[in-house]
């Protein structure tokens, strides 16, 4: 969810799709990228990044928020493990675009060791993939998948992953599925209603999504999507299992979606979110 959209959602509905904690950080990142090619060519592009960083994390208490059409109370931020971490991150991205078709994937490793300094020792791995394929009559399939896992050591809570709510599983409360490991995937089938070069177009879509972190959830959504200047404005109806064992939830939702990134999230940057 883009920062500006998340801020507007908090203001109007009080629903915040992010977890927060306080941290001081410093880091340096080096990136090697493939050469830019002409826009009409379909050559693959890649980048390799190496980053070293320091982070001093602490818990951030929840404060009341101002919401125009909802309760002004805020949900609690998940507890993090206070302490220093000296991290090293290696990332790789690859993509190829040809017309409306796109294939991309990203890999990342982040590690920390008490032998170097700090309070944590862990190794976190992440893989992402995104595929778009045009079909006859202007139909389209989009696939996105992500997996994150603690490969060694004890992963601090600030590196855990969360899903749930609009954008992933609309029938499950916001960020309620949380854990050290994450598997999430979504498949969207879109049928165009119309297309305009200056506007973007509008689609009818059907999307199935499922994930685990390590409790499970899934949902099936159908709705309308308007494409405007690289954004997709969605209105949909989602159904699926709720929190309880026998619960079935049906939710009407609205969302603003961007292209799913394949860059790994575990880099020394201010935002560490799914």
The Cα 240–Cα 221 span in angstroms is 9
pLDDT tens per residue, range 54-109: 999 998 876 667 777 765 556 677 889 999 999 999 999 999 988 889 999 999 99
Q: For 204-214, what is the mean pLDDT?
A: 86
Q: Report in angstroms the alpha-carbon separations of 171 from 27, 140, 226, 242, 255.
A: 38, 25, 22, 6, 14
Evaluated on CA atoms 109, 110, 114, 119, the torsion sign reads negative
Q: Which pair of tokens denotes residue 204?
A: 């009818």
Local confidence band at 199 (pLDDT 50, 70, 90 cut-offs): low
pLDDT tens per residue, range 14-67: 777 778 888 999 999 999 988 776 666 677 899 999 999 999 999 887 666 777
Q: For 168-183, what is the mean pLDDT?
A: 84
pLDDT at 272: 31
Average pLDDT, the chain: 82
What beta strand segments (E) does the chain contain? 22-33, 45-58, 83-98, 101-112, 122-134, 140-153, 161-163, 177-179, 182-194, 200-212, 216-228, 231-241, 248-257
- If one compares 114 and 231, the residue with the highest pLDDT of the two is 114
Residue 259, φ and ψ in degrees, nearest 5: -60, 130
pTM, two decimal places: 0.83
Local confidence band at 201 (pLDDT 50, 70, 90 cut-offs): confident
Local confidence band at 274 (pLDDT 50, 70, 90 cut-offs): very low
pLDDT at 230: 66
């Amino acid at each position: 969810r883009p920062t500006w959209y998340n801020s507007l959602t908090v203001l109007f509905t009080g629903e915040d799709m992010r977890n927060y904690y306080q941290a001081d950080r410093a880091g340096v990142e080096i990136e090697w990228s493939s050469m830019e090619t002409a826009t009409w060519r379909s050559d693959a592009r890649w980048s390799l990044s190496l980053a070293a960083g320091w982070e001093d994390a602490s818990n951030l208490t929840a404060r009341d928020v101002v919401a125009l059409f909802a309760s002004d109370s805020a949900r609690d931020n998940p507890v993090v493990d206070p302490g220093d971490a000296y991290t090293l991150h290696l990332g790789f991205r690859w993509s190829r675009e040809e017309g409306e078709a796109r294939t991309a994937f990203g890999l990342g490793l982040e590690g920390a060791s008490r032998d170097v300094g700090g309070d944590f020792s862990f190794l976190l791995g992440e893989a992402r993939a995104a595929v778009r394929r045009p079909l006859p009559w202007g139909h389209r399939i989009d696939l996105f998948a992500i997996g994150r896992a603690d490969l060694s050591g004890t992963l601090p809570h600030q590196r855990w992953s969360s899903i749930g709510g609009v954008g992933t599983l609309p029938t499950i409360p916001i960020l309620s599925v949380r854990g050290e490991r994450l598997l999430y995937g979504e498949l969207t089938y879109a049928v165009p209603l119309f297309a305009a070069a200056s506007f973007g177009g509008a689609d009818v879509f059907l999307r199935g999504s499922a994930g685990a972190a390590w409790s499970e959830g899934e949902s099936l959504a159908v709705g309308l999507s308007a494409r405007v200047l690289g954004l997709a404005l969605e209105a949909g109806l989602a159904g699926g299992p709720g929190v309880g064992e026998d619960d079935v939830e049906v939710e009407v939702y609205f969302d603003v979606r961007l292209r799913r990134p394949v860059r790994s999230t575990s880099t020394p940057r201010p935002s560490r979110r799914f």
